[in-house]
Amino acid sequence: SAVISQKPSRDICQRGTSLTIQCQVDSQVTMMFWYRQQPGQSLTLIATANQGSEATYESGFVIDKFPISRPNLTFSTLTVSNMSPEDSSIYLCSVARSETQYFGPGTRLLVL
């Protein structure tokens, strides 16, 4: 299994501001992923974060809006930039290990 922690667990932000979400894993992993779960919806992959290279973004997500860092094999950050109410979601990081993908507890973001 994998033990994943995220900070903050929740936040309320004003529109136009930015929030950086941190994800920490208990041991080294090659690939980390960021997902978004909008209220009452399913999960959508935002990007894949690989250590030592630029993140790979999925269709509909861009680096200017969701910059990602991956400074080492146990840590990643996702920034939600210039937020609007439409960014209100749960943001989850996940890691792949032993043929399974594990998810962190999520960061619940409300943008006013």
Contact residues for another protein (CB under 8 A)? 31, 33, 41-45, 48, 58, 92, 96, 99-106
CA distances from 25 to 1, 81, 105 (A): 11, 24, 12
Instruction: Name which of 33 and 66 has its Cβ closer to another protein.
Output: 33
In whole angstroms, the minimum distance from the beta carbon of 82 to another protein comes to 26
In whole angstroms, the minimum distance from the beta carbon of 86 to another protein comes to 19
Instruction: Name which of 75 and 103 has its Cβ closer to another protein.
Output: 103
In whole angstroms, the minimum distance from the beta carbon of 7 to another protein comes to 14
Query: Dihedral angle at the C-alpha atoms of 53, 10, 26, 76, nearest 10 degrees?
Result: 10
Diameter over CA atoms, the chain: 40
Helices (H) and strands (E) in the chain, counts: 0, 11
Q: Which 3 state secondary structure label does DSSP give 86?
A: helix
Phi, psi of 87 (to 5 degrees): -85, -5
In whole angstroms, the minimum distance from the beta carbon of 45 to another protein comes to 6
Q: What token pair was written down for 97?
A: 């290990």
Instruction: Name which of 48 and 81 has its Cβ closer to another protein.
Output: 48
Instruction: Name which of 17 and 41 has its Cβ closer to another protein.
Output: 41
